[in-house]
Amino acid sequence: MNQYPLTGFHFKASFLGLPGEAPVDVKFKSISGLTMSLATEPLSEGGENRFQHKLPTRSDYTDITLKRGFFIDTGLYKWCKNAIEHFEFAPLTVLISLLNEEHQPTVSWRVFNAIPTKWEITEFNAESNEIVIESIVLSYSYFTSV
């Protein structure tokens, strides 16, 4: 058991079954949106006006956004391009892992049936000295911790 909270700066995301996966396809600047919540439905009780009961209905999962330096002709780029430009969807399982100092997973989350729903690159600016960052938004069915 750890005596300290886990750090969030050493991580990777593996796309299981991605054809043509390149070594850079697991390295990201940031991953956000790994969120689950429980949707509820209000139920009013007859004669009780002080409150409503909230009944659980289903689990909700938000989209995940991954950001990294832009690379051309990687398996991830081609997968996104095929989905958005050609409407050819190949849902994948994504394994997101926090890594320890030996680069081994400490905790992981398996994201099921992920498909790209948005691809974006940062602005081009002649006055700045920055690399181009691509953002990929994934929609998925659900995730579990491994």
SS3 15: strand
Who contacts 100 (Cβ-Cβ below 8 Å, separation ≥6)?
Answer: 10, 106
Q: Other CB atoms closer than 10 Å to residue 112's CB: what's the count?
A: 14
Q: DSSP label at 26? A: G
Superfamily for the 11-37+55-145 domain: Hcp1-like (2.30.110.20)
CA nearest neighbour of 35 among 82, 96, 79: 96
* Mean pLDDT computed over 28-48: 93
Q: What is the pLDDT of residues 95-128, one digit of tens each?
A: 999 999 899 999 999 999 999 999 999 999 999 9
CA nearest neighbour of 112 among 135, 146, 68: 146
Q: What is the pLDDT of residues 40-92, one digit of tens each?
A: 999 998 888 899 999 999 999 999 999 999 998 899 999 999 999 999 999 99
pTM: 0.87
SS3 88: coil
Please say whether the beta carbons of 53 and 42 come within 8 A: yes
CA distance 38 to 18: 31
Please say whether the beta carbons of 61 and 143 come within 8 A: yes
Q: Which two tokens stand for residue 36?
A: 């689950």
